[in-house]
Amino acid sequence: MTFAQAAIVAILLGMLVAYATERFRVELVALCGLAAGFVTGIVPVQNVFAGFASSAVITVVEVLLVVAALSRTRVIDSFARRIVYHFQTERTVLAIVCLTGAAVSVFMNNIGALALMFPVTMSVCQRLDISPARMLMPLSFATLLGGMCSLTGTPANLVVNQWLIGEIGRGFGYFELAMLGGPLTLAGLVWIVAASPRTFARFTESSTVSDPSPVNFLAERRVPEGSPLIGLRLPQVEEELGLFVHGVMREGAHVFARRSDIALAAGDTIVVEADLVTLDEFEQSERLVHPLAISDTAERQEYVVMPESLLLGSRIGSVPSFAEHSLYVIGISIRRGRIEGSFDDLQIGMGDMLVLSGERDDLRQIAAECSLLPLSSRRPSRFTGRAWLSIGIFALGILVTAFDLAPTEIAFGAVVVAMAMAGSLNLRTALQDLNWSIVILLACMIPLGLAVEDTGAARLIANEIATYLPSAQPLVVGSAMLLLAVAITPFIDNVSTAAVLSPIAAGLASRTGTPIEPLLMAVAVGASLDFLTPFGHHNNAVVMGAGGYRFMDFPRLGVPLTILCFALAVFVLSLMLPG
């Protein structure tokens, strides 16, 4: 093994370990890895920033911009609401929610699809009086399944497509990955709908306010002068208002006494738990008000705390960014047992839902700075001509790529330009809200992936693997690549999985004479079979906190799903590969 080969292998292994620890931001790890590649000489200076000019990165940016425009139309929200309005059984609604989530994920990235469907699912659960835990993990898995069916379903697919273009001069068709991913998606959805109600049977049919539920939010409210609650004891307040009081602060000190002996007084600050609609009704009736004066022009936005968020572990009252941007915490949804102390003492955790109030630009900035995923509004809006125009433009772009009339990056670039000219997309704000972490990660991994190929490390690794594989049996080679992807993706980002394994797949194809297209398809699909851990994919991390899941809930539903998808993928590969 040469120095260059040993260096790139060491860099990639170090990055994999750093990704798996989740102690560092993914884009920081990628930038450090790229810097190490340049310092050691394995990434030439002309290739350092070549990833930013890659068609894969450009397409990711375009897709994220299109998602931003489509999110504001709320077409998906209204579509889902109209369907579930006609059905009342849990299994039927679960099937519709998962099918819609998978369908949306075919055309946009997984996290964008989840952000659109998340509030819809929460509202449906509240309407049917069932625990959101019975639907959120199935929804997350459904969006991962749907992402396997097109080039834009997940950025990992674009990475794999970039390698195919480099090897044979052409890429996959827009829906060509569905040859392998489509059957897995259909079978996976059937399994999810059939198994989820039994798997999550321990989550009760209805949620009680004394048992923290993702539908309910913890909030701090003040008892104003003249409130009808003055003089009432806590059990009376809870019975009358239908909420749960976790604590009472009076003149800056916690009131310690039996709950039945605590009577509210004017000026008391209480930590309550209720749904957002109920909290709004309290303020309108002036029974309970927010302790701080919030401007009438302030907007309100719900967010999910992402795994790489800078807020993790911080207490609400000690987040400097909130004060710097004049933002107010309207409520937080957590599920971590008993609540003690004041509202400001509550710690922010992964997957928590935050409701912030402030000016629009400040809300955008805090989301970008602190890695908060904004959720689409819970309120349905009336369609406008501009909304339908956005859908039409996007559909036209899909057709252009599906029929190979133009490269994907050109087609979606035209979609972005058309939406901007039609007034459906504000490029200035959309670029501010862009998920730059995934863009930087992808742009950094592409030069490193090229280094794996150029140094011969891919060929070396492929030869080592091929030594133990019967080259006369392409199905064994394809199954090995699929197994490698499935084994790695629960611990690192699926984009990194695709970037690391694509050159190895190309080397194996050359070494064993196996067609490269099925091997790269196996890498793309395997990187999306991320159902075993809550930290393997952002979608799983988001629903973990919101649904109140334990770690073992993921393998409980995900292990059978992974086995099913792997077995079916091997069968489909046997039909695609010769011999």
Which pLDDT score, from 0 to 100, does residue 215 have?
56
**Alpha carbon distance 175, 269 (integer Å):** 56
Contact 122, 378 (CB under 8 A): yes
Question: Inter-axis angle of helices 75-84 and 55-73, to 10 degrees?
Answer: 60
Q: Could you tell me the residue ranges of all domains in the chain?
A: 217-374
Q: What is the CA radius of gyration of the chain?
A: 25
The Cα 523–Cα 541 span in angstroms is 22
Q: How many CA atoms lie within 13 A of 66 on its CB side?
A: 32
Pairing mode of beta strands 299-305, 244-250 = unpaired
Sorted by sequence, the CB contacts under 8 Å of residue 154 that are 6+ apart come out as 109, 110, 144, 147, 148, 494, 495, 527, 528
Structure confidence at residue 208 (pLDDT): 38
At 247, which helix (H) or strand (E)? strand 244-250
The enclosing H or E element of 16 equals helix 3-21
Q: Which two tokens stand for residue 481?
A: 């690549």
Distance CA 445, CA 159 (A): 9
Beta-strand (E) ranges in 334-387? Answer: 353-358, 372-374
Residue 134 to residue 334: CA distance in whole angstroms: 17
In the sheet with 244-250, reading across from the earlier edge strand, the strands are 253-254, 244-250, 269-274, 217-222, 328-333, 353-358, 299-305, 372-374
Q: Which residues does the chain have with pLDDT short of 70?
A: 19-22, 56, 67-68, 70-85, 88, 204-215, 296, 335-338, 376-387, 402, 404, 433, 435, 438, 453, 458-459, 462, 466, 470-472, 491-493, 535-536, 545-546, 579
CATH for the stretch 217-374: 3.30.70.1450
For position 377, what pLDDT does the model report? 54
Residue type, 460: L
State the Cα–Cα distance between residues 309 and 459, nearest whole angstrom: 38
The predicted structure's pLDDT at residue 139: 93
Nearest residue to 327 via CA among 361, 351, 352, 282: 361
What 8-state DSSP symbol labels residue 376?
A: P
Report how far residue 350's alpha carbon sits from residue 334's, in angstroms, rounded to the nearest whole number. 9
Q: How far apart are CA 97 and CA 128, in angstroms?
A: 13
CA distance 97 to 117: 8
| Cα–Cα nearest to 51, from 408, 439, 340, 391 | 439
